[in-house]
Structure 1
């Protein structure tokens, strides 16, 4: 009987390291360059994610997912263009935000299979794009990405080392409860450190595990889609590491939930 290779459980370490490096690099570059370069970068990422989702669910003809990706990038840019810094959330709750509905609705009409699946996940991607628009380039963006990166790193190493019961074996057989909880703890640690630097309030820092959980669910959701269509990677855009959607799936879930939390806080302040 052949014994399992101990290194096999670390086989996806390289893609995760690359993800962390790419996200950190994008964040630092975005903060350094500011708008409109930041907005252009986010729009391109969102467009690529929507395009890759369309490719997963409707691989031919290519013009369909290229069209959807292009529309997603344009819609994200137009919604984020000239947002006043003093009330970003108030500005995006406006008529032009309806542009974000075009890619999911059009895609659900164009693709022939998995229409509801495309509509739901594409809407999540567009909501995440709006979340990045609201965050904007700055300290909050850096710490937001650090929360997601720490959640992923802590979850990965603790899950692979400690093991234990699986979190959702049918969808993501490698994820364990130990790694999932470790990700929440790591996120809370980063949130509290950020509060110490004055980036968050202590109350806001307590929501870091929720942001981490949303990121974990974003990862699982994309994994479920790839399993449904029996595809390993969302694309081969990044040689040896898959597609942009593979690298930013956690960010999509986390950004969407952060937007909802920001919106709730804004409404409370506005109506209070």
Structure 2
């Protein structure tokens, strides 16, 4: 059984790191434009670097004899260039550009190439989606999305540790419980309810918030699966208390990908203004 002290030992570094990241994100969301775009492109590149690092094999690659250290850096830079090009292209060309890094992952010798390629595609789509959402839907939509993901994560974290109970998917994510999962849905729905009650969004935002919360949780589980398959605890050690950027933005990746996919099929009840 986990002692109370061990149960909360990661809380302080998590809170400090979260506060710093939240401050930076708040400024960038408010600024928008080139500054926000640069931040998102950098985050996408960092996640591709982490993905390439943890799934890479300890061998050289191709005719240029790239080392296991050099290839992740090249993939990160290549992904950033593809994302920038996609933002300047038509929709059809942008869609193709976003999938090019995934193709490279699929063709490069590595652990679980298919799974790595899927996550690479998700990271690219999420980066493109965040920038597009900020440009097309405004600040309110981004604030709503961030609040849904963060609230779901925080509610799930505390409910899971306080209430405990049956595991949601123990084979892949042994720490995630049903109590934390449901608490995340309720917290996200509460965010949607707040936006609706204040007149910033249609009533459908409540259901959409809960669905987006679930997509975020699936992003978290998918990233946990990658780490379990590759035998690592964290995607990197760049963020104290959180591991790496994949660890921190896995839920956001799942949430944004779902919003992008749903937006292709219907008009979403997103918040307006800003």
Q: How far apart, CA to CA, are the structure 1 residues paired with 2:9 and 2:224? A: 17
Offset of 1:148 from its aligned partner?
A: 0.7
CA change 1:16–1:240 in 2 (3 A) is closer
Q: How far apart, CA to CA, are the structure 2 residues paired with 1:62 and 1:53? A: 12
**Does 2:238 correspond to 1:252?**
no
1:107 and 1:119 in contact (8 A); partners too: yes
Q: How far apart, CA to CA, are the structure 2 residues paired with 1:139 and 1:212? A: 17
Aligned partner of 2:72 among 65, 68, 86 = 65
1:138-175 deviations in Å (ceiling 9; x for gaps): 12111210111111111111111111111111111111
Residue matched to 1:120: 118
1:48 and 1:69 in contact (8 A); partners too: yes
CA change 1:231–1:263 in 2 (3 A) is same
Q: TM-score, normalised by structure 1?
A: 0.87
RMSD between aligned residues: 2.1
Q: How far apart, CA to CA, are the structure 2 residues paired with 1:16 and 1:140? A: 26
CA change 1:46–1:138 in 2 (3 A) is same
Q: Which stretch shows the higher mean deviation, 218-227 or 26-35?
A: 26-35
1:27 and 1:145 in contact (8 A); partners too: no
Q: How does 1:135-174 map to 2 (within 5 A)?
A: 135-136=133-134, 138-174=139-175
Offset of 1:17 from its aligned partner?
A: 2.7
Q: Which stretch shows the higher mean deviation, 232-241 or 115-124?
A: 232-241
Q: Which runs of 5+ in 2 are unaligned?
A: 59-67, 269-274
Q: How far apart, CA to CA, are the structure 2 residues paired with 1:163 and 1:124? A: 30
2:111 and 2:230 in contact (8 A); partners too: no
Q: How does 1:225-240 map to 2 (within 5 A)?
A: 225-239=226-240
1:40-67 deviations in Å (ceiling 9; x for gaps): 1111101111110010100541121111
Residue matched to 1:85: none
1:147 and 1:208 in contact (8 A); partners too: yes
Q: Which runs of 5+ in 1 are unaligned?
A: 82-90, 268-272
Q: TM-score, normalised by structure 2?
A: 0.86
Q: How far apart, CA to CA, are the structure 1 residues paired with 2:217 and 2:223? A: 10
SS at match of 1:167: strand
SS at match of 2:72: helix
1:56 and 1:229 in contact (8 A); partners too: yes
Aligned partner of 1:43 among 38, 41, 63 = 41
1:241-267 deviations in Å (ceiling 9; x for gaps): 421111111111111111112222249
CA change 1:241–1:156 in 2 (3 A) is closer
1:191-239 deviations in Å (ceiling 9; x for gaps): 1111223332111332101111111111111111111111111112224
Q: How far apart, CA to CA, are the structure 1 residues paired with 2:13 and 2:264? A: 33
CA change 1:217–1:16 in 2 (3 A) is farther
CA change 1:36–1:253 in 2 (3 A) is same
Residue matched to 1:176: 177
Q: How far apart, CA to CA, are the structure 2 residues paired with 1:71 and 1:241? A: 26
1:27 and 1:141 in contact (8 A); partners too: no
Residue matched to 2:61: none
